[in-house]
A and B are shown apart, each in its own frame.
Chain A
Amino acid sequence: MNARRVIAVAWPLAPLVILIALPFNGLNGFLLDLFYFTFTYAAMSVGWNIIGGYAGYISLANLGFFGLGSYVAGLTLSHLGWPILLTAPLVGVVCALVAAVIGWIALRTRGPSFVIVTLAFTFIVQFLALNLKDITGGSAGLYLPLLSMDPLLRGDLFYYYMLGVLILSIAVAIGIRRSRFGLGLIAIREDEGKAEGSGINTSVFKIVAFMISCWFAGVAGAVHAQYLNYVDPDLAFELIIMLNMIVMTLLGSRGTVWGPVLGAFILFPLQSYLVYWLPSTIAGEVHLALLGVVLVLIARFMPEGLLVTLQKLIVRRPPPRLQAVPADAATSARP
């Protein structure tokens, strides 16, 4: 048995064991929350990465699906009494189906329509949440029934729930990365025309990737509604959530399995500390502006992200990428 190989495959078990064991050592409420948020962001970033990183299509709809998930889960809880922690995966499915429709509109063509439609989608969901007052409670929002359970265990519950979602998201990301589907997505990112030429149904690939991506956003939104016991149009559609998904993915390394996770685990604790440290009158504004600055700086100076940059430093050899075939050579094959 080759020890290196074992480490290469099994290393995630170590942090996993630590993360599972942590709450048993009497993790305080603050840290439980910190981890809950980090897991949530990490799972959503891994999800965003599937469309935004693997396929290379920038989606601004994941925020809309986060909010949609919050509202769908909140409404089914308050009207039908269905417990959110059980319905969350189904709420995710609802979001994925809506994503299929949005994807059908925006992903049939190449071109810029995707980013426009996804942004518009987020606005529309927020708009409906705000203006369908009879259903959503408008700007006052919805107050949800509390979970009937020991408040001491409540923190643990959300911790483990989102840890589970995060593990699932990573498993899905690994599965996609190793599948023909994942190869197809990367081919689309590298050269969509050629991907199409090699027999990939690019529209279907992109739409499915988008659906999976939005499933995670929807689940996270649903769980978060229960976490807050409350849904309102400001909290459910906070732009900083969208920005975070993107910045975390970019910082970690877009298009890799672990990049978004790394990004979330670095950025969320830092941000919590920053917001805690800033004077509360301008904390939100400075937070937003700084995250914007970080996004511009990463895009400009480290677009490949930490993981790939480190990999290059260590291995001194770029990871294999699909090579662009020159136009001339493509036509040079004689009959």
Chain B
Amino acid sequence: MLLLQGLVLGVLVGGMYALMASGLTLIFGVMRLINIAHAAVIIFASYLSWQLLRVLGIDPLISIVILVVVFFIGGALLQKYVLSALIDKDLSLALLATLGVANVLEGMEGALWTSSFHAINTGYSDQTYHFGDVYVPLIRIITFVASVIILAGLYVLLTHTNLGRAIRATTQNRAIAQLVGVNVNRITMIAFGIGIAVAAAAGPLMGMYYPFYPNSHWGWIGKLMAIVVLGGLGSFRGTLVAALILGVAEQVTILYVPANWAATVFFVFLFAVLIVRPQGFFGHVARESL
């Protein structure tokens, strides 16, 4: 029964992990860039959502809508004016620029909100439901459902719209995408913006689920990298599956070992994948370059 508990919580948290990691994998796909700032963006959105709730009383689920729009624009601008120029020159510079962005966000959060931890508490934060022997906090159901809805939207966007197909085409073969008339620079900018917007959507959910503080993004980026590597860098579906696997593995592990040791599950998987099958288990998109 304990195992069932772990399984249920694992799937629920895995849904949120999938949302957190999907932007990372999308960005990697179109730009071959590991966005080191990805988790920092998520945490930054958590802080903003916390602030919106505190000052204006805006529910975190509502603030997702606002944050998605703002972060999409911010991400697209960052890509257009900073990253795209670097990508053409030297991918490692773009990587370092995202490292810089991560530190800017972390330092800024520390200066604005102090380095002590914050949590987004709503009226419904503390409710818990029991299904037989399995107990499930309401907040976990909410974050799961919200994550699934957003991911479903992203999936439809990627598979059933011209824009989405162009993003996937650019991911799979940039040169050919250009030869069928895709303005790949513009598509890359939009895709990066979408990746950042998805991170922003994950922020309020993450903040309702876990407490956060300025440098907690480092712990998260490690987990997210493990997920995208297991999923095969750049593969959207692979990332979803990997997030569920690691979510369940983590929650089941927590049942048997002290909670702080459960984080090692991610690193065990990460190293195992890289030793056994560096290209990941599900994807086959990313083969080259940094």
Contacts and interface: CB of A to CB of B under 8 A. Distances in A.
- Establish whether A and B are touching in the complex (CB under 8 Å): yes
B18 interface: no
Q: Which among B34, B94, B260 has the greatest number of chain A C-beta atoms within 10 A?
A: B34
Given A287-B107, A299-B96, A110 B225 contact: no
B263 interface: yes
A74 B100 CA distance: 31
Contacts of B244: none
Interface residues of B, number: 54
B96 A112 contact: no
Nearest to B82: A300
Interface stretch (B9-17, B142-150, B193-201, B268-276): B268-276
A292 B107 contact: yes
B28 to A, nearest CB: 7
Given A112-B34, A289-B108, A296-B82, A120 B100 contact: no
B289 interface: yes
B241 to A, nearest CB: 19
Contact of A285 (B97, B110, B221, B287): B110
B111 interface: yes
Contacts of A58: 92, 95-96, 290
Given A113-B278, A293-B104, A250 B222 contact: no
A114 B226 CA distance: 13
B135 interface: no
Interface string B24-66: 0000100010101000000000000000000000000000000
A299 B28 contact: no
Given A106-B274, A303-B90, A295 B96 contact: yes
Interface residues of A, number: 45
A288 B103 CA distance: 6
Q: Give the most central of A108, A110, A292: most B CB within 10 Å.
A: A292
Given A58-B290, A285-B214, A123 B219 contact: yes
Contacts of A106: 274
Interface string A99-110: 000000110111
B102 interface: yes
Given A105-B275, A123-B218, A239-B215, A286 B111 contact: yes
A284 interface: yes
Interface in A55-94: 56-58, 60
A287 B110 CA distance: 11
B225 A116 contact: yes
Interface in B114-128: 115
B158 interface: no
A115 B290 contact: yes
A286 B107 contact: yes
Contacts of A115: 34, 36, 95, 290
B288 A120 contact: no
B69 interface: no
B270 A112 contact: no
A208 to B, nearest CB: 20
A294 B107 CA distance: 13
Interface in B170-220: 214-215, 218-219
Interface in A22-80: 52, 56-58, 60
Contacts of A117: 270-271, 274
Contact of B290 (A111, A124, A131, A294): A111
A291 interface: yes
B215 to A, nearest CB: 7
Contacts of A176: none
B225 A120 contact: yes
A293 B102 CA distance: 10
B103 A299 contact: no
A289 B103 contact: yes
Contacts of A300: 82, 85-86, 97
Contact of A290 (B28, B34, B107, B260): B107
Interface string B234-276: 0000000000000000000000000011011001001100110
Given A119-B225, A120-B270, A299-B94, A246 B218 contact: no
Contact of A292 (B82, B103, B278, B289): B103
A116 B36 CA distance: 9
A113 B82 contact: no
Contacts of A60: 99
26 contacts: A56-B92, A58-B290, A105-B275, A112-B34, A113-B229, A116-B229, A116-B274, A119-B36, A120-B222, A124-B264, A130-B260, A131-B260, A243-B99, A282-B111, A285-B106, A285-B107, A285-B115, A286-B111, A288-B110, A292-B101, A292-B103, A292-B107, A295-B96, A296-B104, A300-B86, A303-B86
Which are the 7 A-B pairs with shortest beta-carbon distances?
Answer: A289-B107, A292-B103, A295-B100, A285-B110, A288-B107, A292-B104, A296-B100
Interface of A: 52, 56-58, 60, 105-106, 108-117, 119-120, 123-124, 127, 130-131, 239, 243, 246, 250, 282, 284-296, 299-300, 303
